[in-house]
Amino acid sequence: EVVSLEFYQDEALDLILPPKITLKVVDTTPGVKGNSASNVYKDAQLENGMNVRVPLFVNIGEKIVVDTREGNYTKRA
């Protein structure tokens, strides 16, 4: 994944992120077996410190894809 930084006269103007990035979940409440209701989310902290809402089936240590434009969970990696 490539991150671009645009400069003008030695001053940073813009940071351009890829549309999606893959990050590891480092903290979240454990999923409960059989708890697979759709559209039910829980909080999760990612390895970069970001907090996102993820489906109940996502657990600590899993990698997920995050939409950088919205800051939302997209899918498991």
Residue 2 placed within a domain: no
Q: What is the pLDDT of residues 1-51, one digit of tens each?
A: 788 899 999 999 998 889 999 999 999 998 766 666 668 899 999 999 999
Residue 67: inside a domain, yes or no? yes
Containing domain of residue 40, as a range? 19-76
Contacts of 25 (CB under 8 A, 6+ apart): 44, 45, 46, 47, 54, 58, 59, 60, 61, 62, 63, 64
Q: What is the largest CA-CA distance in the chain?
A: 57
CATH (domain of 47): 2.40.50.140
Do residues 68 and 18 touch, judged by C-beta distance below 8 A?
yes
Give me the pLDDT at residue 2, please.
80
Average confidence (pLDDT) over 43-62: 95
pLDDT value of position 33: 66
- What's the structural domain count of the chain? 1
Instruction: Classify residue 3: in a domain, yes or no.
Output: no
